[in-house]
Amino acid sequence: MSAQASEVPAKRKKVAFLDREATSVTEAFLQRLLVGVHTFLSNGLAVAGLSIILLLIAVAAFAPWIATHDPNLQNLSMALKPPSSVNWFGTDEYGRDIFSRIVYGSRVTLYIVTLVTITVGPIGLIVGTVSGYYGGTVDMIVMRITDLFLAFPGLILTLTFVAILGPGLEQAVLAIALTGWPAIARLARAETMTIRSSDYIAAARLQGASSLRIIFGSIIPVCMSSVIVRLTLGMASVILTAAGLGFLGLGAQPPTPEWGAMTSAGREYMLDSWWLVTAPGVAIMVVSLAFNLFGDGLRDVLDPKSK
Amino acid sequence: MTAISVKNLSIVFGEDENETKVLDAVSFDVEKGEVFGLVGESGSGKSTVLRCIAGLYTHWTGEILIDGQPVGAQLTKERCRKIQMVFQDPYGSLHPKHTVQTTLAAPLRIHGIGDSDRRITEVLRDVGLAPHLRFRYPHQLSGGQRQRVAIARALILRPFILLLDEPTSALDVSVQAEVLNVLSDIRDREGLTYLLVSHDLAVIGHMCRRLAVMQQGLIEEVVDYADLSGSRAQKAYSRMLFDASHHYDRSMANDITAARQAGGGTVHGA
Amino acid sequence: MSSTPRASDAAAVQMPLIEARDLRVAFQMQRGVFQAIRGVSFSLGQEKLAIVGESGSGKSTVGRAIMRLNPPSAIVTAERLAFKDVDLLSASRKELRRLRGRHISMIMQDPKYSLNPVATVGEQIAEAYRTHHKVSNREARERALTMLEAVQIRSPKRVYDLYPHQVSGGMGQRIMIAMMLISDPEVLIADEPTSALDVTVRLQILAILDDMVKERGLGMIFISHDLNLVRSFCDRVIIMYAGRIVETVAAADLDNVQHPYSRGLLNSLPRLDQKRDRLPVIQRDDSWLEAV
Q: Do the chains contact at B107 and A208, CB–CB below 8 Å?
A: yes
Spatial separation of the C-alpha atoms in residues A112 and A251, rounded to whole Å: 10
Would you put residue B163 in left (φ > 0), alpha (ψ -120 to 50) or beta? beta
Any CB–CB contact under 8 A between C270 and chain A? no
Nearest CA in chain A to C63: A1
Task: Provide the 10 A C-beta neighbour count for residue B145.
Answer: 21
Percentage above 90 pLDDT, chain A = 54
Any CB–CB contact under 8 A between B24 and chain C? no
Mention every residue, 6+ apart, whose C-beta is less than 8 A from residue B183. B151, B162, B164, B167, B194, B207
Spans of all domains in chain A: 51-66+86-306
- Find chain B residues with C-beta within 8 A of A302's C-beta: none
State the amino acid at position B199 in one-letter form.
H
| Three-state DSSP state, B263 | coil
- Find chain B residues with C-beta within 8 A of A207's C-beta: 80, 106-107, 110-111, 153, 157
Using the predicted structure, report yes or no on whether residue C3 has a pLDDT greater than 50: no
- Model confidence at A15, pLDDT cuts 50, 70, 90, reads low
Please state the φ and ψ torsions of residue B173, each to the nearest 5 degrees. -60, -40
CB B4 within 8 A of CB B161: yes
Any CB–CB contact under 8 A between C113 and chain A? no
| Three-state DSSP state, C134 | coil
Task: Provide the 10 A C-beta neighbour count for residue C85.
Answer: 7
State the amino acid at position A301 in one-letter form.
V
| A36 to chain C, closest Cα gap in Å | 15
Spatial separation of the C-alpha atoms in residues A276 and A263, rounded to whole Å: 7
Spatial separation of the C-alpha atoms in residues A100 and A97, rounded to whole Å: 6
DSSP assignment, residue A251? S
| A30 to chain C, closest Cα gap in Å | 21
Task: Give tens-digit pLDDT for C149-191.
Answer: 888 888 899 999 999 988 888 888 889 988 988 888 999 999 9
Of C274, C272, C186, residue with least CA distance to C229 = C272
Q: Which of A21-25, A94-98, B9-13, B62-66 has the lowest mean pLDDT?
A: A21-25
Please state the φ and ψ torsions of residue A31, each to the nearest 5 degrees. -60, -45
Question: What's residue A247's pLDDT?
Answer: 86
Q: Which chains contact C through at least 3 pairs of Cβ atoms less than 8 Å apart?
A: A, B
Q: Do the chains contact at B205 and C210, CB–CB below 8 Å?
A: no
Question: What's residue A305's pLDDT?
Answer: 59
Any CB–CB contact under 8 A between C244 and chain A? no
- Find chain C residues with C-beta within 8 A of A13's C-beta: 31
- Model confidence at A10, pLDDT cuts 50, 70, 90, reads very low
- Find chain A residues with C-beta within 8 A of C51's C-beta: none
| Three-state DSSP state, A291 | helix
Any CB–CB contact under 8 A between B56 and chain A? yes
CB A247 within 8 A of CB A64: no
Any CB–CB contact under 8 A between B201 and chain C? yes
Q: Average pLDDT in the A287-298 region? A: 93
What angle do helix axes A25-41 and B100-110 make, rounded to 10 degrees? 140
Q: Considering only residues A228 and B15, tell me which one the structure prediction assigns the higher pLDDT.
A: A228
Domain A51-66+86-306 is of which CATH architecture? Orthogonal Bundle (1.10)
Spatial separation of the C-alpha atoms in residues A30 and A42, rounded to whole Å: 18
Question: What's residue B265's pLDDT?
Answer: 42
Nearest CA in chain C to A14: C31
Q: Considering only residues C4 and C72, tell me which one the structure prediction assigns the higher pLDDT.
A: C72
Question: What's residue C202's pLDDT?
Answer: 86
| C5 to chain A, closest Cα gap in Å | 31
| Three-state DSSP state, B212 | strand
Q: State the total domains in chain B.
A: 1
Q: Do the chains contact at B135 and A208, CB–CB below 8 Å?
A: no
Any CB–CB contact under 8 A between A221 and chain B? yes
CB C243 within 8 A of CB C58: yes
Interface test with A, best of C25, C30, C34 (most A CBs within 10 A): C34
| Residues facing residue C240 across a β-bridge | C245
Using the predicted structure, report yes or no on whether residue B38 has a pLDDT greater than 80: yes
Structural domain boundaries, residue B177: 2-232
CATH of the domain at B155: 3.40.50.300
Q: Do the chains contact at B184 and C206, CB–CB below 8 Å?
A: no
Task: Give tens-digit pLDDT for C23-45.
Answer: 999 998 877 888 899 999 999 99
Chain A residues 8-27 with a CB less than 8 Å from chain C: 8, 10-13
CB C55 within 8 A of CB C102: no
Task: Give tens-digit pLDDT for A180-214.
Answer: 999 999 999 999 999 999 999 999 999 999 999 99
Using the predicted structure, report yes or no on whether residue B247 has a pLDDT greater than 90: no
Mention every residue, 6+ apart, whose C-beta is less than 8 A from residue A122. none
In terms of Cβ atoms closer than 10 Å to its own Cβ (0-12, 13-18, 19+), residue C276 is exposed
CA atoms within 13 A on the CB side of B156: 34
- Which of C31, C36, C58 has its CB closest to that of A11? C31
| Three-state DSSP state, C102 | helix
Using the predicted structure, report yes or no on whether residue C11 has a pLDDT greater than 60: no
Chain B residues 81-140 with a CB less than 8 Å from chain A: 81, 83-85, 87-89, 92-99, 101-102, 106-107, 110-111, 132, 135-137
CB A40 within 8 A of CB A298: yes
Domain C1-92+228-292 is of which CATH architecture? 3-Layer(aba) Sandwich (3.40)
Question: What's residue B249's pLDDT?
Answer: 82
- Model confidence at A2, pLDDT cuts 50, 70, 90, reads very low
What angle do helix axes B173-190 and B116-126 make, rounded to 10 degrees? 120
| Mean model confidence pLDDT for chain A | 88
Spatial separation of the C-alpha atoms in residues A195 and A135, rounded to whole Å: 13
Q: Which of A188-197, A278-287, B182-191, C203-212 has the lowest mean pLDDT?
A: C203-212
Using the predicted structure, report yes or no on whether residue C283 has a pLDDT greater than 50: yes
Percentage above 90 pLDDT, chain B = 71
Interior angle at CA A107, CA A102 and CA A108, nearest 5: 90
Spatial separation of the C-alpha atoms in residues A113 and A261, rounded to whole Å: 16
Q: Do the chains contact at B93 and A200, CB–CB below 8 Å?
A: yes
Chain B residues 109-148 with a CB less than 8 Å from chain C: 143
- Find chain C residues with C-beta within 8 A of B187's C-beta: none
Question: What's residue A304's pLDDT?
Answer: 62
- Find chain B residues with C-beta within 8 A of C277's C-beta: 184
Spatial separation of the C-alpha atoms in residues C160 and C139, rounded to whole Å: 14
Question: What's residue C200's pLDDT?
Answer: 83
| Mean model confidence pLDDT for chain B | 90
Using the predicted structure, report yes or no on whether residue C18 has a pLDDT greater than 60: yes
Percentage above 70 pLDDT, chain A = 93
Any CB–CB contact under 8 A between B258 and chain C? no
Q: Please give the helix or strand (H or E) that residue B167 lies within, else none.
A: none
Question: What's residue B16's pLDDT?
Answer: 78
Spatial separation of the C-alpha atoms in residues A30 and B265, rounded to whole Å: 56
β-pairing, B61-66 with B2-13?
A: antiparallel
Spatial separation of the C-alpha atoms in residues C279 and B168, rounded to whole Å: 13
Using the predicted structure, report yes or no on whether residue B118 has a pLDDT greater than 60: yes
DSSP assignment, residue A253? P
Nearest CA in chain C to B169: C195
Instruction: Write down the ipTM of this complex.
Output: 0.90
β-pairing, C18-29 with C104-107?
A: unpaired
Task: Give tens-digit pLDDT for C221-280.
Answer: 999 988 888 988 999 999 999 999 999 999 999 989 999 999 999 989 888 877 788 888
What angle do helix axes C199-216 and B236-246 make, rounded to 10 degrees? 50
Strands (E), chain C: 18-29, 32-44, 48-52, 74-77, 80-83, 86-87, 104-107, 187-191, 219-224, 236-241, 244-250
DSSP assignment, residue C49? E
| Three-state DSSP state, C213 | helix
In terms of Cβ atoms closer than 10 Å to its own Cβ (0-12, 13-18, 19+), residue C49 is buried
- Model confidence at C82, pLDDT cuts 50, 70, 90, reads very high
> Is B246 part of a structural domain of the chain?
no
Winning range, highest mean pLDDT, from B107-121, C106-120, C154-168, C197-211: B107-121
Nearest CA in chain B to A225: B97
- Which of A32, A206, A217 has its CB closest to that of B137? A32
CA atoms within 13 A on the CB side of B15: 0
Task: Give tens-digit pLDDT for B124-174.
Answer: 999 999 999 999 999 999 999 999 999 999 999 999 999 999 999 889 988
- Find chain A residues with C-beta within 8 A of B102's C-beta: 25
Q: Average pLDDT in the B253-262 region? A: 75
DSSP assignment, residue A6? H
- Find chain C residues with C-beta within 8 A of A1's C-beta: 55-57, 59-60
Question: What's residue A307's pLDDT?
Answer: 43
Nearest CA in chain A to C57: A4
Task: Provide the 10 A C-beta neighbour count for residue A21.
Answer: 15
What is the distance of C-alpha B220 from the center of its chain? Answer: 18
Task: Give tens-digit pLDDT for A119-173.
Answer: 999 999 999 999 999 999 999 999 999 999 999 888 888 999 998 999 888 999 9
State the amino acid at position B203 in one-letter form.
V
| Residues facing residue C128 across a β-bridge | none
Q: Do the chains contact at B176 and C159, CB–CB below 8 Å?
A: no
Using the predicted structure, report yes or no on whether residue A227 has a pLDDT greater than 80: yes
Question: What's residue A132's pLDDT?
Answer: 95
- Find chain B residues with C-beta within 8 A of A32's C-beta: 137
Nearest CA in chain C to B42: C198
| Mean model confidence pLDDT for chain C | 86
Question: What's residue A200's pLDDT?
Answer: 95
Using the predicted structure, report yes or no on whether residue A68 has a pLDDT greater than 70: yes
Q: Which chains contact A through at least 3 pairs of Cβ atoms less than 8 Å apart?
A: B, C
Q: Do the chains contact at C31 and A5, CB–CB below 8 Å?
A: no
- Find chain A residues with C-beta within 8 A of C31's C-beta: 10-13
> Is B124 part of a structural domain of the chain?
yes
Q: Do the chains contact at C204 and B257, CB–CB below 8 Å?
A: yes
Question: What's residue C5's pLDDT?
Answer: 45
Mention every residue, 6+ apart, whose C-beta is less than 8 A from residue C211. none
Task: Provide the 10 A C-beta neighbour count for residue C200.
Answer: 22
Q: Please give the helix or strand (H or E) that residue C34 lies within, else none.
A: strand C32-44
Interface test with C, best of A1, A39, A41 (most C CBs within 10 A): A1
Q: Do the chains contact at B246 and C228, CB–CB below 8 Å?
A: yes
Spatial separation of the C-alpha atoms in residues A79 and A67, rounded to whole Å: 18
Task: Give tens-digit pLDDT for C86-139.
Answer: 899 888 888 888 888 889 999 888 877 888 999 999 999 999 899 888 899 999
- Model confidence at C13, pLDDT cuts 50, 70, 90, reads low
